[in-house]
Amino acid sequence: MKLFGTDGVRGIANRPPITPEICVRLAQAAGLEFKRGEYQHRVAIAKDTRLSGYLIEPALTSGFLSTGMNVILMGPLPTPAVAFLTRSLRADLGVMISASHNPYTDNGIKLFGPDGLKLSDEIQTRIEERFSHLPEDFPIGADLGSAMRLDDALGRYIEFVKSTFNCRQSLDSLKIVLDCANGAAYRAAPTILWELGTEVIPIAVEPDGLNINAQCGATYPNTMRAAVLEHEAHLGIALDGDADRTIMCDACGNILDGDAILAIIAKSWQEEGRLANACVALTEMSNMALDRYLNGMGINVIRTKVGDRYISSAMRKHHLNLGSEKSGHILFGDYGILGDGLVAALQVLTVMQHTGQSLADLAACYVPFPQCQENVHIQDRDIVHTAPIQQMIASCSARLGTRGRLLVRPSGTEPVLRLMVESEDATLIQSVMDEALCALKPYMHG
């Protein structure tokens, strides 16, 4: 059974593959994959603020206990906290229950190895094979696992994030709007920024199980933007539901995506001699202008498939300490190679303090090429490989030439095709997108 997509297992909660029955079997398969050797095996489990977390957490716990693994329950925490605590607790496996930026009706399961990294395609395939061929007998009696709750998990993560702020200057001169998306960082993020000295204006910090990502957070940055302008704040920070990505906003209301945030950090690190191998890793979604901007400073770029685990893999392979996705995943090799929205925001604040420049001034150095993006709901995502669609891609690419590009890719988390047209020539973009949508129209839902 195919379970894993771009970022773990994801779907509508209480519908396959996110049902209690499947969650139990998935936990059993993952438990058997990671339960090796004759020592006390442990798995650390956290979740975001979705109502369905109460459904999925006990199902996963039951599955792991049935394999003889001990379970450490950590409650609502950001995804990067799970990666950090999996290593810190010497757990065999880490689990985050979250559908990230998706609406509350969805949920998902992200798995981390003992190194705190997301699982490779190879390990995911082995777990899927075990899922389809589980043994009939599992441990009984004293060989069953036990469960405990880790009460100081939040505090451990807060201190870790604060330790990444490598600036002696206080942040007490800054007023910051912080949008927590009613998600996993609703407690950690305001605490961290306040303890570092800022005046914090928190929004979307009252989760009720149903309002995660609802017109707030990194996927809806206009809420943050409006608050920045209303309160005349120096900047805004918007996290997504599980806080592994961030989008920022300067005092003028200009939105900074992951490309802009990486441009600020990469420039600073290159000047300090801190950027490993003078190179960064980006996905195919990052703007072409970012390559040119970085190349102009002597920084090389490695491109990967979409997904922060592919960025992480490229960073390890090429010994890099910085990578990003346009969506706001910023990965730091010095802090575990996992997207962490809070750590990313603190790195930007560090640059502001070191340079004495505003966020608007720092961001002005990088100007992206115009882009147009569309999500197309279709009956079969595999149509991207058919002759008519490949002909359309070739035609559009020829029109754009070397000054632009068309990207058509199936989403790994939703039943859609994602289209992106980018060009130095802004007048071409909408025309090319119209040609692409026209070719896809016969395959669209409805």
**Half-sphere exposure (CA, 13 Å, Cβ side) for 278?**
9
pLDDT of residue 430: 93
- 138 and 52 together in one domain: yes
Which of 35-44, 59-68, 312-321, 410-419 is the least confident region?
410-419
Domain count, the chain: 4
Model confidence at 413, in pLDDT bands (50, 70, 90)?
low
Sheet harboring 330-332: ordered strands across?
300-304, 279-283, 322-324, 330-332
Model confidence at 343, in pLDDT bands (50, 70, 90)?
very high
Domain boundary among 332, 363, 394: 363
Give me the CATH number covering residue 263: 3.40.120.10
pLDDT of residue 258: 97
Domain boundary among 121, 152, 183: 152
- 144 and 83 together in one domain: yes
- Residue 251 one-letter amino acid: A
Decide if 160 is inside a domain: no
Mean pLDDT value of segment 186-199: 97
**Half-sphere exposure (CA, 13 Å, Cβ side) for 361?**
9
Find out whether 75 and 47 touch, Cβ atoms under 8 Å: yes
Please name the residues in contact with 342: beta carbons below 8 A apart, sequence gap of 6 or more.
78, 80, 161, 185, 188, 189, 192, 239, 243, 246
Model confidence at 239, in pLDDT bands (50, 70, 90)?
very high
For 380-410, what is each residue's pLDDT tens digit? 778 888 999 999 999 999 999 998 999 998 8
Residue 6 has pLDDT above 90, yes or no: no
- 19 and 148 together in one domain: yes
pLDDT of residue 259: 97
d(CA 380, CA 364): 41
SS3 percent helix, strand, coil of the chain, rounded to 5, is: 40, 20, 35
Cα dihedral 116/122/127/131 (nearest 10) = 160
- Mean of pLDDT over the chain: 94
Global confidence as pTM? 0.92
Give me the CATH number covering residue 420: 3.30.310.50
Decide if 88 is inside a domain: yes
For 134-143, what is each residue's pLDDT tens digit? 999 999 999 9
Decide if 159 is inside a domain: no
Q: Is 276 exposed, middle or buried (0-12, 13-18, 19+ CB in 10 A)?
A: middle
- 318 and 394 together in one domain: no
- 213 and 324 together in one domain: no
Q: Where are the beta strands (DSSP E) in 290-377?
A: 300-304, 322-324, 330-332, 371-377
Backbone angles phi, psi at 33, to 5 degrees: -65, -35
Residue 436 has pLDDT above 80, yes or no: yes
Residue 9 has pLDDT above 70, yes or no: yes
Under DSSP, the state recorded for 218 is: T
Domain boundary among 363, 394, 413: 363
Range of the domain at 59: 9-152
pLDDT of residue 385: 87
Residue 446 has pLDDT above 60, yes or no: no
* Helices (H), ranges, 67-112: 79-88
- 29 and 144 together in one domain: yes
Which of 159-168, 205-214, 327-336, 374-383 is the least confident region?
374-383
d(CA 135, CA 29): 10
For 272-322, what is each residue's pLDDT tens digit? 999 999 999 999 999 999 999 999 999 999 999 988 889 999 999 999 999
d(CA 433, CA 440): 11
- 85 and 215 together in one domain: no
- 224 and 306 together in one domain: no
Decide if 243 is inside a domain: yes
pLDDT of residue 365: 92
d(CA 346, CA 185): 15
pLDDT of residue 166: 82
- 66 and 47 together in one domain: yes
Decide if 3 is inside a domain: no
For 81-112, what is each residue's pLDDT tens digit? 999 999 999 999 999 999 999 999 999 999 99
Decide if 120 is inside a domain: yes
- 108 and 47 together in one domain: yes
Structure token digits, residue 329: 């995943």
Residue 268 has pLDDT above 90, yes or no: yes
Helix (H) or strand (E) holding 233: none
- 30 and 117 together in one domain: yes
pLDDT of residue 93: 97
pLDDT of residue 411: 77
pLDDT of residue 54: 98
The residue assigned the tokens 């060009």 is 423
d(CA 300, CA 296): 9
d(CA 239, CA 400): 34
Decide if 1 is inside a domain: no
Measured from the Cβ of residue 163, the count of other Cβ atoms closer than 10 Å reads 11
- 281 and 354 together in one domain: yes
pLDDT of residue 2: 87
Which residues are catalytic, by number? 100
Decide if 4 is inside a domain: no
